[in-house]
A and B are shown apart, each in its own frame.
Chain A
Amino acid sequence: MGSQEMALSSLFGLGVVGVLIVGFYSLVSTRNLIRVLIAMEVLTKGVTLLLVTAGYAVHRIALAQALAITLIIIEVAVVVVAIGVILCFYRQRKSLDTALLRDIKG
């Protein structure tokens, strides 16, 4: 494994860290349900990239691609179901405010 591949992996790894920070920060601080979902997407993107980068670094790119593709498909399913929940929620509450989520007692 050449040091140049290592350098590229490290660089992209740094990018992944940045993306994950952005995603987590947004996840805990956003007030709109759709943005929460978008934050989740950003995080998933980061992890997908991390997987592919890791696979690249150890010459297992074929395995990493298979994992990444599976992950992307799962991601779509989660988004679809989450959107379903959001739409249902919106129909009832007419709002997408996450403050409503804290409201356990109703």
Chain B
Amino acid sequence: MEGINPDAMTSLDIILVIGLVLAALVTVMAARVLRSAIGLAVASLVVSIMMFRLNAPLAAVFELSVCAGLIPVIFISVIGLTRRLDTEALTVRRHAKWRRFWPLPVLVLVVCGVLLVVRPVMDVPPPVAAAAAGGVREVLWNLRHIDLIGQIVILLVSAFGVVILVKETNRG
């Protein structure tokens, strides 16, 4: 049964968080877009592991298959389709990029440091009733039908979007 044993914070968790931030940094600061896409996959992998750690296996699997699998694949194929920019970017922009991005790790460290010190901000008051709501996520799918309808509609309309935007037409 989930959540009964107190989930002690282990050093693995600290590694995960640091790994996540590093992966995000690499994703954002990589010289080549392709590396960014791969960085995204790695970051998603770390998030997935973190979700497993939070007793959220179903979400973790979704995150893994979609965000670490499907989406990077989409990105990589699009990068392939728009290759022309890449070669220019390499030569001209690599140095500019590092110079532009150096504030970022500093910023992250500073903010996280501040937050670690000013801990009271993070102490959210305990919720009203900490009752475990009968736990099984299938039960939830019985309660959130409206979201399901929304998702179906969204998937439907994104299909339209692809057809409308991407499909080649014979235009003058």
Contacts and interface: CB of A to CB of B under 8 A. Distances in A.
Q: Does A touch B (CB under 8 Å) in the complex?
A: yes
Interface of A: 1-2, 4-8, 10-15, 17-19, 21-23, 25-26, 29-32, 34-35, 37-39, 41-42, 45, 48-49, 52-53, 55-66, 68-70, 72-81, 83-88, 90, 94-97
Contacts, number: 234
Contact of A17 (B58, B104, B115, B151): B115
B78 interface: yes
A69 B166 CA distance: 27
Interface in B70-109: 70-71, 74-75, 78-79, 81-82, 84-85, 89, 93, 100-101, 103-104, 107-108
Given A19-B20, A34-B33, A65 B9 contact: no
Nearest to A15: B17
B71 to A, nearest CB: 6
Contacts of A35: 28, 33, 36
Contact-residue size bin, chain B (C-beta under 8 Å from the other chain): 35 or more
11 contacts: A8-B9, A14-B116, A19-B20, A19-B43, A45-B67, A65-B137, A70-B147, A74-B151, A77-B157, A86-B78, A87-B78
Contact of A42 (B40, B103, B150, B162): B40
**Interface secondary structure of B, over-half rule:** helix
B3 A61 contact: yes
A59 B9 contact: no
Given A1-B126, A12-B54, A62-B136, A80 B162 contact: yes
